[in-house]
């Protein structure tokens, strides 16, 4: 049995251009990662707007001033920024108090106050993305 060689030559410029774009997209995922980071930022913003999903335990400060938890001045929410490159997407903040709000724990002088977790980032304690973000 002799081997058969199949050769295809594409002469249509539109198809050639589409194949070049497909090849480029396979190597540079920056546009996809940008959209993904924006999705993470949107989910984070929704957590602040809806006071957590599921709802956070209201803070004493929010109850006293009849305001929203984690929203007194909006610094934490505004500090969350999307970041991405060709291979990854994330959201994050530079605020030093961000971790205690996300995970809960002891705070204040002598660790005299226990703050409950109020996860504003769309990830579980185990680091898994929230189901709605995966969609």
**In terms of C-beta density within 10 A (0-12 exposed, 13-18 middle, 19 or more buried), how is residue 11 classed?**
exposed
Percentage of the chain surpassing pLDDT 90? 47
In a domain, 4, yes or no: no
pLDDT digits 0-9 by tens, 85-98: 998 999 999 999 99
In a domain, 8, yes or no: no
Q: How confident is the model at residue 1 (pLDDT cuts 50, 70, 90)?
A: low
In a domain, 18, yes or no: yes
- Tally the domains of the chain: 1
In a domain, 126, yes or no: yes
| pTM for this entry | 0.75
pLDDT digits 0-9 by tens, 27-55: 888 999 999 999 999 999 999 999 988 88
Torsion of CA 37, 40, 45, 48, to 10 degrees: -140
Domain boundaries, position 27: 13-134
């Amino acid at each position: 049995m002799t081997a058969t060689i199949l050769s295809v030559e594409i002469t249509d410029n539109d198809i050639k251009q589409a194949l070049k774009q497909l090849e480029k997209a396979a190597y540079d995922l920056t546009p996809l990662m940008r959209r993904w980071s924006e999705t993470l930022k949107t989910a984070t913003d929704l957590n602040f707007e809806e006071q957590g999903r599921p709802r956070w335990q209201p803070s004493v400060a929010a109850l006293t001033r009849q305001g929203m938890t984690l929203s007194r001045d909006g610094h934490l929410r505004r500090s969350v920024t999307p970041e991405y490159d060709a291979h990854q997407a994330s959201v994050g903040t530079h605020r030093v108090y961000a971790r205690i709000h996300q995970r809960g724990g002891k705070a204040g002088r002598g660790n005299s106050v226990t703050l409950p977790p109020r996860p504003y980032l769309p990830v579980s304690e185990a680091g898994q993305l929230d189901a709605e973000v995966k969609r």
